[in-house]
């Protein structure tokens, strides 16, 4: 039964004439815009018709005016030359009311009234533009520059030219977040409408160990989106000069003791071999002294002894 109803409704829909799109039947919608300084910003707007309309909606002209200002910053009547700020332009001068803004600057931030005229009427919509700047790649250094394994050191990570203020996080070799131990400073600059924030983070160690290296400093923007990172390779010395000296003395002492031990073992082995040779020579002499080449030995069959004959 349900399938029959669906088929009937589909047939009826085919015979319903399309409604003519009038001024009351379409909408102009614009999304909040976030631009990046010195780059091209897309201002996305669209024409929405909630029901099926006959005919096509075409642009006749547009005008963008900043709130609290009387003169539009950009005007474009279709098929005529645009006026106002040349950095603004229509994406599609026929059907798409979206705009593009090249070489975005911080003074472009603010609220705007966007007027759009079409062949089906006209609409005005408010839109907003905010401008951010990306941070440069972070720069790292340490103090002191020559780091001793187990000794104190301060690690530094700096990032500049970003806006709004972001943050810097620290990670060790095992990806443990060490940021809670760091000290963060922010320096805000506003020169002739050009805004920037310099970030500086210090990670102090009373006793640093090579097992934690290398370290990473990661720069996040105001939306906590990663914009850059730097792996901090630090050269760790084994210890102080006194420790190196002590180590060399210990190694030299071990070598001397080893040489003496080897010599003593060699001497003992040599003496033992001489003793064995002397014992063998002493045990062989009585046998040779009882031997008389003029005598022969006859066995005594009854006693099992030998008797000599001349």
Domain boundary among 71, 97, 132: 132
DSSP 8-class letter at 279: H
Give how far the C-alpha of residue 205 lies from the chain's centroid of Cα atoms, to the nearest Å.
22
Count of domains forming the chain? 2
Which residues face 231 on adjacent strands?
Answer: 216
Question: Of 79, 100, 132, which residue is a domain's last?
Answer: 132
**Residue 85 confidence (pLDDT):** 97
Residues 165 and 231 in one domain: yes
Residue 96 has pLDDT above 80, yes or no: yes
- DSSP labels, 77-115: ETTS--EE-TTEEEEETTTEEEEEE-S--GGG-EEEEEE
Asked if residue 294 belongs to a domain, the reply is no
Confirm whether 268 is domain-assigned. Answer: no
- Say yes or no: 121 and 150 in one domain: no
Residue 4 lies in a domain: no
The predicted structure's pLDDT at residue 56: 80
What average pLDDT does range 249-261 have in this prediction? 54
Q: Report if residue 114 sits inside a domain.
A: yes
Beta-bridge partner residues of 155: 142, 203
Q: How confident is the model at residue 184 (pLDDT cuts 50, 70, 90)?
A: very high
Question: Is the distance from CB of 49 to CB of 135 less than 8 angstroms?
Answer: no
Provide the mean pLDDT of the chain.
Answer: 79
Q: Is residue 281 part of a domain?
A: no
- The reply to whether 95 falls in a domain is yes
Domain check: are 167 and 206 in the same one?
yes
In this structure, are strands 19-20 and 53-54 parallel, antiparallel, or unpaired? parallel
Residue length of the chain: 310
Q: What is the pLDDT of residue 296?
A: 45
Residues 78 and 148 in one domain: no
Q: Which residues pair with 67 in a beta bridge?
A: none
User: Most confidently modeled of 20-24, 49-53, 294-298?
Assistant: 49-53
Q: What pTM, to 2 d.p., does this model score? A: 0.63
Note the pLDDT tens digit of each residue in 280-299. Answer: 555 545 544 444 445 444 44
The verdict on 162 and 199 lying in the same domain is yes
Is the domain of 96 the same as that of 58?
yes
Per-residue pLDDT at 71 exceeds 80: yes
Residue 226 has pLDDT above 50, yes or no: yes
- 62 and 27 within one domain: yes
* pLDDT exceeds cutoff 90 at 14: no
149, 124: one domain? no
Which of the two residues, 14 and 96, has the higher pLDDT score? 96
Task: Find the domain containing 216 and state its range.
Answer: 139-237
Lowest mean pLDDT among 74-78, 273-277, 294-298: 294-298
In a domain? residue 251: no
How confident is the model at residue 225, as a pLDDT? 94
Q: Please, what sign has the CA dihedral across residues 170, 176, 177, 181?
A: negative
Looking at residues 175-185, what average pLDDT do you find? 97
Q: Residue 158 falls within a domain, yes or no?
A: yes
Q: What's the pLDDT score for residue 25?
A: 76
Which of 132, 152, 176 marks a domain boundary? Answer: 132
128 and 151: one domain?
A: no
Q: How confident is the model at residue 55 (pLDDT cuts 50, 70, 90)?
A: low
| The predicted structure's pLDDT at residue 274 | 63
| pLDDT tens digits for range 135-168 | 999 999 999 988 888 899 999 999 999 999 999 9
The CATH number of the domain where 155 resides is what? 2.60.40.10
């Amino acid at each position: 039964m349900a399938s029959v109803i669906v088929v009937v409704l589909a047939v009826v829909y085919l015979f319903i004439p399309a409604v003519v799109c009038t001024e009351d039947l379409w909408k102009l919608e614009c999304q909040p815009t976030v631009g990046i300084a010195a780059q091209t910003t897309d201002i996305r707007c669209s024409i929405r018709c909630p029901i099926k309309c006959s005919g096509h909606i075409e642009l006749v002209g547009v005008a963008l005016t900043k709130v609290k200002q009387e003169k539009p910053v950009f005007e474009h009547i279709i098929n005529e030359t645009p006026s106002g700020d040349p950095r603004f332009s229509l994406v599609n001068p026929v059907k798409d009311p979206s705009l593009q803004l090249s070489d975005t600057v911080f003074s472009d931030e603010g609220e705007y009234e966007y007027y759009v005229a079409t062949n089906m009427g006209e609409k005005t919509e408010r839109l907003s533009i905010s401008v951010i700047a990306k941070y440069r790649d972070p720069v790292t250094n340490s103090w002191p520059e020559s780091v001793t394994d187990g000794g104190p050191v301060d690690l530094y990570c700096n990032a500049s030219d970003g806006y709004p203020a972001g943050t810097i996080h620290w990670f060790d070799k095992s990806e443990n977040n060490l940021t809670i131990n760091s000290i963060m400073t922010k320096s805000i600059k506003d020169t002739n409408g050009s805004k920037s924030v310099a970030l500086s983070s210090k990670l102090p160690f009373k006793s640093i160990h090579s097992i934690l290296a290398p370290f990473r400093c990661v720069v996040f923007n105001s939306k906590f989106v990663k914009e850059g990172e730097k792996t901090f390779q630090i050269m760790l010395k084994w210890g102080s000069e006194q420790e190196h000296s002590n180590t060399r003395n210990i190694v030299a002492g071990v070598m001397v003791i080893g040489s003496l031990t080897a010599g003593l073992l060699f001497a003992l082995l040599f003496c033992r071999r001489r003793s064995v040779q002397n014992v063998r020579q002493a045990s062989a002499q009585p046998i040779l002294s009882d031997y008389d080449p003029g005598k022969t030995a006859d066995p005594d069959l009854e006693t099992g002894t030998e008797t000599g004959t001349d």
